[in-house]
Amino acid sequence: MSQASRFKPAKTLCWASFGLITAGLVACGGGGDSGNSQQGTLKLAMTDAPACGYDNVYVTVTKIRVHQSATAGENEAGWSELTIPPQRIDLLGLTNGVLQELGTLPLPAGNYQQVRLVLADNPANPSPSNPLANALVLSGSAGEVALTTPSGQQSGFKLKANFDITGGQVADMVLDFNACKSIVRAGNSGKYNLKPVVAVIPRLTTEIVGYVDPLLASSVVVSTRDPQHNLRATVPNPTTGKFVLAYLPENTSYTVVVAGRDLTTAAVTNVPVSIAAGTTALNTSATPIPLLASPSAAVAGVVTNASNVLLPEAAVNAQQVLSTGQTLDVAQMLVDPVTAVYSLPLPLAAPVTAPYMANGPLVFTADAAAAGSYNILASAPGYTVQNTAPAVVLTVANTITAKDLVLAP
């Protein structure tokens, strides 16, 4: 991968949601709970975190399968299915936590630990009347590029889950689809792979709301981590600058991060979220979170295991730790699916932080100790330990710091 392609400016995909009203519900197998024959209901919807560098992202889901075993194979007994009439959805058409419903599925009571997404096939000869089922449009381009979806049509994409179905009750869940981590370019082939990164989370009546300058809204990602350490992300509305982080579990100390290329990272700390309050407002449109220009440098390298085998399914995340202890997620990406290479441009300016103030203005100050200091962290399926020290310190603008990453099981 050339340096020029590594540092091409990216447009960010909105936090989107898509859903299909199901025309058929099929319950297959017994769900694996021999001790309780009562049935409850699983209610599903889908939302989407940001993607990077695309004007459109189209996905066609035909079926959702659920099972009580995290290790169940596709042909084992005990699967239940939600069948969905194929409909191509542009993930960019829905923003900031808005949901459309996927449907409901009756299930035997019990604990469920696996969800699979089954996708439609791309047609062999796409046309305007029979377009690609799964595709993307690169920013500034007009043509659609097919998304390669290995295993997506046969066994379906496997997602980790952990939710309970109680007899006579409804489990209301959201499939939080992180498109930025799910779409990866295959080297210089011009092909793109879809490897869905999806968190299965409860739908809660909670949200954090705030504003940035509308002129910079398309340049930033807003994120936080929930108590289960899931990264939740969105992008602001390009007209109003408003952003919404929705469906968050109760917590008294969320850290909301606003980050973008060539911009100083801003963070609001100790943000409370409660079901009783519902909405936590950070600020108003009259007092947008400041996003100042910053010079940038980059960290780039390859992710392997201890035997120097490439790990093309790895993800890389750049974090900063504030002097007060909070961790900021500044940038993240999947490595190239062929070369396992990554490249992250990062701001050199010190991040600015403000403690949450109910009914009061946010007062931001620079955390000079964190300027240019990052932890570069990799992860991959089947690997739990990073053998390389993560810390890097960037000081010179428009330079590349080499940082190969080695993982162990």
What pLDDT was estimated at residue 46?
66
**Cα dihedral angle (210, 215, 216, 218), rounded to 10 degrees?**
90
Residue 90 has pLDDT above 80, yes or no: no
What count of other Cβ atoms lies within 10 Å of the Cβ of residue 33? Answer: 17
Select from 203, 236, 251 the last residue of a domain.
203
- Range of 130's domain? 3-203
What pLDDT was estimated at residue 330?
97
Select from 203, 220, 251 the last residue of a domain.
203
The model's pLDDT over 233-291, given as tens digits with 9 standing for 90+, comes to: 888 888 999 999 999 999 999 999 999 999 999 999 999 999 999 999 999 999 999 99
Average pLDDT over residues 73-99: 78
Residue 111 has pLDDT above 90, yes or no: yes
Q: Are residues 170 and 22 in the same domain?
A: yes
DSSP-derived 3-state class of residue 34:
coil
What pLDDT was estimated at residue 95?
52
Q: What is the pTM of this model?
A: 0.79
Q: Is residue 214 part of a domain?
A: no
Q: Is residue 126 part of a domain?
A: yes
The model's pLDDT over 202-231, given as tens digits with 9 standing for 90+, comes to: 888 899 999 999 999 988 999 999 998 888
pLDDT band at 97 (very low <50, low <70, confident <90, very high): low
DSSP-derived 3-state class of residue 3:
helix
Q: Is residue 218 part of a domain?
A: no
Count of domains observed in the chain: 2
Q: Is residue 394 part of a domain?
A: yes
Q: Is residue 10 part of a domain?
A: yes
Q: Is residue 238 part of a domain?
A: no
Q: Is residue 184 part of a domain?
A: yes
Q: Are residues 34 and 167 in the same domain?
A: yes
Q: Are 323 and 370 in contact (CB under 8 A)?
A: yes
- What tokens does 334 get? 């999947």
Nearest to 345 by CA among 295, 291, 406: 295
Residue 32 has pLDDT above 50, yes or no: no
* Residue 375 parent element (H or E): strand 373-379
Cα dihedral across residues 387, 379, 235, 203: positive or negative: negative
Residue 326 has pLDDT above 50, yes or no: yes
Average pLDDT over residues 337-358: 95
Q: What is the rounded distance in angstroms from the CA atom of residue 11 to the CA atom of residue 346? A: 16
The model's pLDDT over 366-382, given as tens digits with 9 standing for 90+, comes to: 999 999 999 999 999 88
Cα dihedral across residues 385, 346, 214, 284: positive or negative: positive
Q: What is the mean pLDDT of the chain?
A: 84
Q: Residue 355: give its domain's CATH number.
A: 2.60.40.1120
Q: Which residues contact 280 (CB under 8 A, 6 or more apart)?
A: 206, 207, 208, 209, 271, 272, 273, 356
